[in-house]
Structure 1
Amino acid sequence: MIRNVLGAVVALVGAAAAVQSPFRRWYDTRLGRDYRIQDLFDGITGVSSSVMASILLPFLFAALLTLVGVVLRSRTAVALAGLVALGFTVLWMVRLGQAESGLTLDGDGSGLGWGVAQALAGGVLILLGALLMSGRRRAARPGRNAPEPFPVPPDDRPDTWPPTQEPGPAAYTSQAPEPEADPYTGPDPYTGPGRHRATSGDEDTAEYPVQGEVPPGQGDDRYRPPHP
């Protein structure tokens, strides 16, 4: 953004200098607006020209192109405007050199004037403004490395997925200690049929009959006490 603003200011200053240059002295006492635009292609003559038919016209076009390039943030348009300003100035110097058999620059005011220097400086400033501008950023097409609208912050933890090797069975085992197995796995003798577990402190461990069973000593001689 700052580069676009700075480049636009420099380019507009150069365009203003280029437009103002034809109203200054270009060679000897002759102003730049006195040279016809067609003299740049047919040869320099002594015929005067109207303002809108003079070499002011290409500089106005360069200034308009500079303004369009600044509004659209187009470096190409601004650079083209600078080339137009420099190109017509150099073309005028070539044609005048052919007509005068050479160009002179004297300290007494004869020869090339400040208008030519101002036109050259304006073209250079326009080109410099195009170099300073960053231009318009092109929107990335979807599917072609389009940047994410909200970048994801990097994770401080190391990336461990996908794993470099297949995890073994130990990777899925619980780290909690396993309960100890009961050393006695047989049937509980105190919870079988016809038995009950005595309460703590009860020393009576006599077996109680279950419904349907014959108590010892009844109905069986094997359980009768011996005759005294």
Structure 2
Amino acid sequence: MFRNAFGSLLGLIAAAAAVWSPFRAWYDGRHGRDYRVQELFTTAGITDHDAALFASLLLPFLVAAVLALAAIVLRSRPLMALAGIVVLGFAVLWMVRQGQAADGLSVGGDGEGLGDGVANAFGAGALLLIAAAVMRGRPRRVRTVPPAEPGPAPAADPHPGPGRADEPWPPPPSDRP
């Protein structure tokens, strides 16, 4: 029970961090909510156009948070791990596409380069995977078959095969040539 409670707490913290990350700076001071999700999958790549809130990187992280909440309610380790994979997958995909658009990624302390929103996303994804590993999950149900009730003996087969009912089957070899 303690492991499920601790894993659930980690999952809640990670889900909140994942949803919060698009509201932080991701690259060169640009927030994650300014990147369109479709830019990650098109040949045009990342552009300077702003995105609507629910068409931005918030959408996959919101879906991952809902998956994490469902995993907490259902005590499902695979669902929690899936939420972590979604967060990490979209963060990595964004980094690849941003690296292609900017001809490389940089890290800077003056607001240029990768921002703390990316760090929040990676931390949230890792924490979701840790929460999945910590959780014990649902207890397995062992199905037991109740013993059969004693009842009347089964009726003898009226046609037991060749020969009489008290003869062994198969019949012993005969001595006749």
User: Does TM, normalized by the shorter one, top 0.5?
Assistant: yes
Mapped partners of 2:69, 2:3: distance in 1: 16
> 3-state SS of the aligned residue for 1:125?
helix
Does 1:139 pair with 2:141?
Answer: yes
Which ranges of 4 or more aligned residues in structure 1 deviate by more than 4 Å?
none
In the other structure, the counterpart of 1:17 is: 17
**Structure 2: gaps spanning 5 or more residues:** 146-177
Displacement of 1:107 after TM fit?
A: 2.1
Mapped partners of 2:94, 2:104: distance in 1: 12
* Paired amino acid for 1:86: L
> Residues 22-59 of structure 1: CA distance to partner in whole angstroms, max 9, x if unpaired?
00100012111000010111111111101011010000
Mapped partners of 2:17, 2:113: distance in 1: 21
* Paired amino acid for 1:107: G
Candidates 77, 80, 84, aligned match of 2:79: 77
Does 1:3 pair with 2:28?
Answer: no
Mapped partners of 2:55, 2:24: distance in 1: 16
Cα RMSD after superposing both structures: 0.7
* Paired amino acid for 2:20: Q
**Structure 1: gaps spanning 5 or more residues:** 144-228
Greater fraction helix: 2
> Residues 42-81 of structure 1: CA distance to partner in whole angstroms, max 9, x if unpaired?
1111111010110100000000000001100000000000
> 3-state SS of the aligned residue for 1:110?
coil
TM-score, normalised to structure 2, is 0.79
> 3-state SS of the aligned residue for 2:46?
coil
Mapped partners of 1:68, 1:107: distance in 2: 37
Candidates 73, 83, 89, aligned match of 2:91: 89
Q: Which has the higher contact order (CA 8 A, sep 6+)?
A: 2
User: 5 Å matches for 1:26-175?
Assistant: 26-42=26-42, 43-143=45-145
Identity across the alignment (%): 58
TM-score, normalised to structure 1, is 0.62
Instruction: Report how many aligned residue pairs link the two structures.
Output: 143
Mapped partners of 2:109, 2:81: distance in 1: 33
Mapped partners of 2:123, 2:29: distance in 1: 21
Mapped partners of 2:3, 2:90: distance in 1: 28
* Paired amino acid for 2:114: L
Displacement of 1:142 after TM fit?
A: 1.3
Mapped partners of 1:139, 1:29: distance in 2: 52
* Paired amino acid for 1:110: E
> Residues 90-110 of structure 1: CA distance to partner in whole angstroms, max 9, x if unpaired?
000000000111000012220
* Paired amino acid for 2:17: A
